[in-house]
Amino acid sequence: MLIYAAADIHGRFDRLQTIRRNIETHRPDILVLAGDITGLRHSRFFIDQINTLSIPVLAVRGNSDREKIDRFIEASSMISSIHLNQLLIMEIPFIGLSGTLPVPFRSRICLRERTCIDRIEQITTRDSVLVVHPPPWGFLDKVFGRFHAGCRSIASLILRTRPRLVICGHIHEGRGTAAMGNSIIVNCSIGRNGAGTLIKYNIDRIDTIELP
């Protein structure tokens, strides 16, 4: 499977056009949006534009996405929210967790974080692709090149469940790929001069290509 992953579009139509061009060029099987999809204005119209893309889209919300976009996603034919849910695509289980509360030099998923983590842990396996907005604490999460700002609960969840692949964003300068135990972490933020990440998901290995 060829996954195209992106995060931190922030409702910018130029970034959406870049994603559209890359879909036409690279022909991925699926687009995964790891939060901060919309901005504060025109969110419904923006979701409608994403719905015109030529491949299925899986999404979770980030801290800039209001809860109301879940209604717009639900009404879309090409976009699926995977928040607290598992969706099988080509027999690969995708699982998602929406939300992020940025606090000084760290992130939380939500106010009832423990409840959400417990629910997602019950359905996460070693074959899962886990999609969240914030990166795990200590991995692709440095701000100002010095301070970690990831989510400790996500890090603990990954260590307990060991999903094969974790797709995240949120920390714009943290774009890249890292290994956390047996899990591959991909920060696919396009917030700083990027265009997302292509992920070649094979039975025996995972390869990533950062798009300029």
3-state secondary structure of 210: strand
Would you state the pLDDT for residue 29?
A: 98
Would you state the pLDDT for residue 206?
A: 97
- Cα separation, 88 vs 103, in Å, equals 33
Residue 184 contacts by C-beta under 8 Å, 6 or more apart in sequence? 164, 165, 166, 177, 178, 206, 208
The stretch 166-181 carries a mean pLDDT of 97
- Cα separation, 191 vs 175, in Å, equals 9
Mean pLDDT of the chain: 96
Residue 142 contacts by C-beta under 8 Å, 6 or more apart in sequence? 148, 149, 171, 173, 174
Q: How many other C-beta atoms lie within 10 A of the C-beta of residue 146?
A: 7
Query: Side chain identity at 14, as an amino acid letter?
Result: D
Using one digit for the tens of pLDDT, what is the confidence trace for 50-82? 999 999 999 999 999 999 999 999 999 999 999
How would residue 189 be classed by pLDDT, with cut points 50, 70 and 90?
Answer: very high
Q: Decide which of 3.60.21.10, 2.30.22.10, 3.30.390.50, 3.40.50.720 is the CATH code for 2-210.
A: 3.60.21.10
Would you state the pLDDT for residue 100?
A: 94
The DSSP element (H or E) to which 125 belongs, if any, is: none
Evaluate if residue 111 carries a pLDDT over 90. no
Using one digit for the tens of pLDDT, what is the confidence trace for 138-166? 999 999 888 999 999 999 999 999 999 99
> What are the domain boundaries of the chain?
2-210
Evaluate if residue 207 carries a pLDDT over 90. yes
Q: Residue 61 is encoded by which pair of tokens?
A: 């919300």
